[in-house]
Structure 1
Amino acid sequence: MTVDRAAARSARGKKARRRGRMLEYVALVHLMLKGYRILGFRLPMPQGEIDILAQKGKRLAVIEVKSRGDADAALTAVTAIQQDRLWEAGLALQETRPQLAALDLNIDLYTLTPGRWPRHTKNAFEKIERF
């Protein structure tokens, strides 16, 4: 019985990861059509993975891709800890890549919800100091 549950859970997880990756490709294409230059995709960082790193003009966007039942659920799915990690990853990239240092760093949210057009929320998470 326990083995069956574990196998079912593993299969659900595999399906969710596959769907998530497919939705990241949707986000990539949509962002390119909007004029963004993709600088990184599934970029591993010590702070955590950056789903998409993109540039448009002087704007550097670290983009988190979420799929949820509605946009509000996607927004709340990105915890304060994850927001901090995204900021830290973006700042670390700017420190290690001189060509990115002069760009304005933003953390964006790209949401995909059933029956709705994809939504790109620019600067979804303001950098706040936490004590």
Structure 2
Amino acid sequence: MHKDRRIKRKKAERLGRLGEIVSLWWLRFHGWHIIKHGRRVRTPSGEIDIIARRGRCLNFIEVKTRRSKDDLDQAIDHNRLKRVVAAARFLAPRLMRPDDEITIDVILWRPWHWPKHLHNVWHENTFY
């Protein structure tokens, strides 16, 4: 039984990495610059899948990949976003330029479909 779970987990991990690669190219195609070491950045409070910049916008992006539309619709929730925000708060002071705008985005992708980029999904009075 454990072997089956490991195989499923490995497949899911590969699919997730593929989703991140597709998302990277999607962002580049739309004018975003992926910052150096801006993939799967780990912090004490969480992980950021992609960090990108376009103009004055510093963008922390969570990528969710699922095989079905129904699973993809349920892939992101408030608790998952809170971990992304905590990691972004940790990293932002190191990466920000003066007058930067910071956004938390989500990219949803399933194989054989275009990625769906959800812009600025986290709203708070203050980021810090």
TM-score range, shorter chain: 0.7 to 0.9
Query: Are 2:125 and 1:119 equivalent residues in the alignment?
Result: no
Match of 1:82 in 2: 80
Match of 1:106 in 2: 103
Higher relative CO (Cα under 8 Å, sequence separation at least 6) belongs to 2
Match of 1:25 in 2: 21
SS of 1:77 mapped into structure 2 = coil
Residues 51-70 of structure 1 correspond to what in structure 2 (within 5 A)? 51-68=49-66, 69-70=68-69
- Give ranges in structure 2 of 5+ residues lacking alignment: none
Larger Rg: 1
Q: TM-score of the superposition, structure 2-length normalised?
A: 0.83
1:101 CA drift (Å): 5.7
RMSD, aligned CA: 2.1
- Give ranges in structure 1 of 5+ residues lacking alignment: none
Going by fraction, where is strand more abundant, 1 or 2? 2
| Whole-angstrom CA distance in 2 between matches of 1:52 and 1:98 | 13
| Whole-angstrom CA distance in 1 between matches of 2:44 and 2:110 | 29
For the Cα contact (< 8 Å) 2:20–2:49, is it kept in 1?
yes
Match of 1:9 in 2: 5
Q: TM-score of the superposition, structure 1-length normalised?
A: 0.82
| Whole-angstrom CA distance in 1 between matches of 2:91 and 2:64 | 22
Tell me which amino acid in the other structure corresponds to 1:17: E
Going by fraction, where is helix more abundant, 1 or 2? 1
Measured at CA, do residues 61 and 18 of structure 1 come closer, stay the same or move farther in structure 2, by a change above 3 Å?
same
Measured at CA, do residues 112 and 86 of structure 1 come closer, stay the same or move farther in structure 2, by a change above 3 Å?
same
| Whole-angstrom CA distance in 1 between matches of 2:95 and 2:15 | 35
Number of aligned residues: 123
| Whole-angstrom CA distance in 2 between matches of 1:103 and 1:125 | 16
1:114 CA drift (Å): 4.4
Measured at CA, do residues 43 and 29 of structure 1 come closer, stay the same or move farther in structure 2, by a change above 3 Å?
same
